Amino acid sequence: MYRCAAFVLLFSCGVVFHQSHGVEVNVTGEDKKLCLYANLMLNFSVSYKGADNKTLTALFKLPENVMSDGSKCDEKTSTLKLNFGDGHSWSMNFNKSGKSYLADQITFSYKLSDSNYFPGSSSNKTITVSQNANINDVELDNCYSCKSKDEISANLVNMTLWNVLVQAFVANGSKSENITSCSADHSTTPVPTTIPTTAATTAAPVTNTTTTPPTTPPTPLPTPQTGNYSISPSGPNTTACLLASFGLRIGFKQNQTYQEMNFDPHGANVSGKCGVSSSELVLVSEELTVAFTFVNDTKKFRLLTLNVTVNTGSGFHEVDTNLTLWETNIGSSYMCNKEQNSTISDQLSLYTFNLRVQPFGVKKGDFSTADECFLDSDLSFLVPIAVGVALSFLIILVLISYLIGRRKSRTGYQSV
């Protein structure tokens, strides 16, 4: 009855074209006119059971080529449905209410038998989770826009939705230029305080004095405990192919508030995989899920991707897929005992302590010879010395310039 409009006549009905800014979908009605438009970005974090009842975590994004079969438009309700992989689907339902509309529910259905998304799963079940959507009171003939990240949690699933532009119940087959922005995108401005006045014949001058209460600085966190992690290719009793040891702290900004959180290695679930060109380490505690992806270019390895999810409170999710951290030669391990602070993005910082990692070329289950970071090297002490020497030369140059200038001034005076 309804079908997805083709994009520039290059894509068949039902196929969604993925651009760098998100997945874009045009849904048309029986009259061949646009009735629902969506452009969004979406990431998933799903916990599931593997062998020996171990908890594993799958981290993936909405893939490039999804299908919109099942999307539809009616007079009072509309549905955006995106299908991908081996039977997975994500949908958002819209309802019209008077002169506005809202998205009342988000539903995600996934099949644990799909090893591409859930490797090592001990279950073949299809699981469906639903959660309320945070899109309300959008005027008809308006697009809803939300660039901020919306963290949606439902049972063992965390969904991160951002860069959203959507219009349900499109009128006259043309997407509107009118925008209704989400509250998270609105900049917060101070609310003026109104002081009530009492009518009088003569008004006495009023002095408004604002006393700012003293702020108590946050209590600094203790140094995080060092965890020892290993990944084996075929079970816990085989020789490790990935080794890592470090204390880990995450700093993140949410709703303009900066927080820090230590990763607790006790009782944490450790999973991952080893490959020829890519290896992965996933750490899951009650509060944090952190996934590291390393790449191998045959000569060196480095940390390429960091994916962090805060599992408590209102949740937080951030991912960077283009890092160049902890780089060293293949056949060696990378080591940095001193605290390292890496700024991943405006919202995320990574702190490591007593770090040693080797995601490739592990032999006999032990670290290879370590390449030390600059902070640990004997050359690190030269930095303050070099700065001191440079400042000394600068002072000497200024003093010489001053003496030469003073001498010329005196000579000129005597010759008059």
* CA dist list (Å): 85 to 64, 65, 90, 109, 319: 11, 9, 11, 11, 22
SS (H, E, C) the chain: CCEECCCCCCCCCCECEEECCEEEEEEECCCCCEEEEEEEEEEEEEEEECHHHCEEEEEEECCCCCECCCCEECCCEEEEEEEECCCEEEEEEEEEECCEEEEEEEEEEEECCCCCCCCCCCCCCEEEEEECCCEEEEECCCEEEECCCEEEEECCEEEEEEEEEEEECCCCCCCCCCEEECHHHCCCCCCCCCCCCCCCCCCCCCCCCCCCCCCCCCCCCCCCCCEEEEECCCCCCCCCCEEEEEEEEEEEEECCEEEEEECCCCCCEEEEECCCCEEEEEEECCCEEEEEEEEECCCEEEEEEEEEEECCCCCEEEEECCCCEEEEECCCEEEECCCEEEECCCCEEEEEEEEEEECCCCECCECCCEEECCCCCHHHHHHHHHHHHHHHHHHHHHHHHHHHHHHHHHHHHHCC
> How sure is the predictor about 192, in pLDDT bands with cuts at 50, 70 and 90?
very low
Rounded to an integer, the average pLDDT of 178-198 is 61
Is 378 a residue whose pLDDT tops 60? no
Domains and CATH numbers, the chain: 3-184 (2.40.160.110), 227-378 (2.40.160.110)
Its pTM surpasses 0.95: no
* Entry field: residues in the chain: 416
What is the reported pLDDT for 279? Answer: 93
| Contact call for residues 335 and 313 (beta carbons, < 8 A) | no
Lowest mean pLDDT among 48-57, 149-158, 349-358, 372-381: 372-381
What is the reported pLDDT for 255? Answer: 82
What is the reported pLDDT for 18? Answer: 37
What is the reported pLDDT for 89? Answer: 96
Is 227 a residue whose pLDDT tops 90? yes
Is 397 a residue whose pLDDT tops 90? no
- Report the share of the chain in percent with pLDDT over 70: 81
Interval 320-351: pLDDT, tens: 988 999 999 999 999 999 999 999 998 999 99
What is the reported pLDDT for 153? Answer: 83
What is the reported pLDDT for 108? Answer: 95
Is 257 a residue whose pLDDT tops 60? yes
What is the reported pLDDT for 312? Answer: 77
Interval 2-21: pLDDT, tens: 444 333 323 333 334 333 34
| Contact call for residues 131 and 105 (beta carbons, < 8 A) | yes
Is 103 a residue whose pLDDT tops 50? yes
What is the reported pLDDT for 236? Answer: 58
